[in-house]
Structure 1
């Protein structure tokens, strides 16, 4: 099994910690660069200023007739040729700075050569220099830099000065400082961010669990002022949604009552029609209007069901629905199933199963109903023998008031709410409905419910 790595954290605490860690790392890198630059400047000044002073003093004393610069003694010595061996490590930045220092003191010189010599007396050849570039040097007391200054027409002047190497202690000090900063800064930040994200996480969970019929206690207000204000706004929004749904239920109840009263009066008046065909047609129209009204009100009230969940035998419930159709001589068959105890809203599930069977009888000639059970789910399959539905329109038939002209027409009745209502009922119970065309013809409508005892 492949594991997908996420280089960038998705949580608020993780992103804050990573950003602060990167900022501290960049700041420490800049600080380290500045320290190295200052150390290099200090080391350069430490090497050139005393040398420039010594050379200027020695040349001045010699020019005034004082002690001459000799080759065998003194800090400044005179030699005939450049005394720096070719194998030593050069430092051209020292030569450039020393020339500038000497020019400020009025001393004009020719070439300036340098060479580093380690404390053990061995020259820093190319191989040794390569090793030095790959590691941090320890500071040796005997390390020195040889400086040779050409005095045109008079030979070379040589001076030796200490030349400290980069110390590992500096790097360790900076690493220790960085670690202390991470501990001092990151730990409080992580604590603060976790304290901030906890009420946000509770708010997200409350929003995910929210349902129109949920009348639970409001979410506890916690966290900083901004987060607390957000939680209070969510609680107020939930109260407003509940009040709007209550008002909608009252309005739908009034509409249903006001419409059923004239329909009942029409049903009574229809009985006085003498023509039997007209009377039956008018009665069927009124009955269809009542069914349409029931479907519309049921669909509008879903999400706030008044029926509680009870433990029922699902197999017996489906068998009872099938028996209702058999009593009307409808071609409906049921494959007997074992007892299946589940917690659900029986009236709503019965309504969903009845709508599927009714569609199968109307548009598929007959219905065959069966139940399949697994450890975690239950499926109620309603199969018909009709022409099926085009694959690109299978999702469209679940939209309210949608009717496919190729397989539904005005003579079959209905306004396209059966499947929409059935799916809304099943989804409210935590399941779903799927439609699949069979290879040999016909359509399978399957209600899948989570198995809860």
Structure 2
């Protein structure tokens, strides 16, 4: 896509849009939570019943003679607020009366009753004017941050209620804690969702690379995502196509060479019939048979590599029991221990060839072969054991090399041509698995195959 950089679907643009969306959602959710929880977090004085309580106190003090009002006020006060009385005509009463006329109506406080005036002031953050501050200093003595409610009584005096802090509803620390918790949870939730969304194309690309590493015939990755990632995917697909073509051509060429070797081997055998020395003729035929076996094994290996079997579901334990039964029919019993049923997804014929090669090694080079199948979390583990002599740890990796044999004589009576483990590992790695070797403490060798569940 061509056009201005800010219109192109780039990683930088996605990050910028994500940050903008996160900030907007954080503010929206925080304000929404504050509105929804307003009555619970910061209820009004009327909603908490304070207005009715104050009204009852005012009515009580009006019924008391002026001389005894201060004593009565001290008696009705509690630890949350203080009650003071300003006598009619006093300096405090005159100042409060003037301040009440300057102040607009307060919706939080009950409406005037019986001609009473109401004065609501709060000394916090400059919310009170200079004149109102002087009134409070003169008539009340309230400190900064205080909440003040002054109510005029019928004889012209005033009853002043003073609270140093807002004691109704949650306190400031609790409100700040709730706001911080809401913001934190919102940021974490949106950030996790945004990070997951942004990293999804990269995860797909990583999975495609891993899949290609296990299976060179894997399908090409769809071109999607931001511009930078799409360019990387195109380059990866081009590289994958070239590697697949190279591997396919090489395999086809080697298979053709192995096939063409059959003709000269047949001619050598025919010419060997004219050798008069029986001993020399027998040696030549043995060598021809060994070469023929190597050619046949190589052809089978390359033919399997060229085949593209469809992935399907199958019963894994049944596949292993079939291999054990086949060897039992040949007079080589193979014990099976493990799960009775396990539905697995893969290429059953290829896996059967691979495990047949592993069991074949256990039969040829050891005795009392065993098969074990276990499922561990997200993996399937198959163990092929024998009670033979084992192999040196230095040869654990070498035995997987093509045509490698621990027994160097190349005598077919003591083993194959050295392609069994190579072919088995190729199939297992093509399924995203691995194969490792371990010498058993009780004697013998264990080949452990791990496959994705």
TM-score normalised over the length of structure 1:
0.47
TM-score normalised over the length of structure 2:
0.47
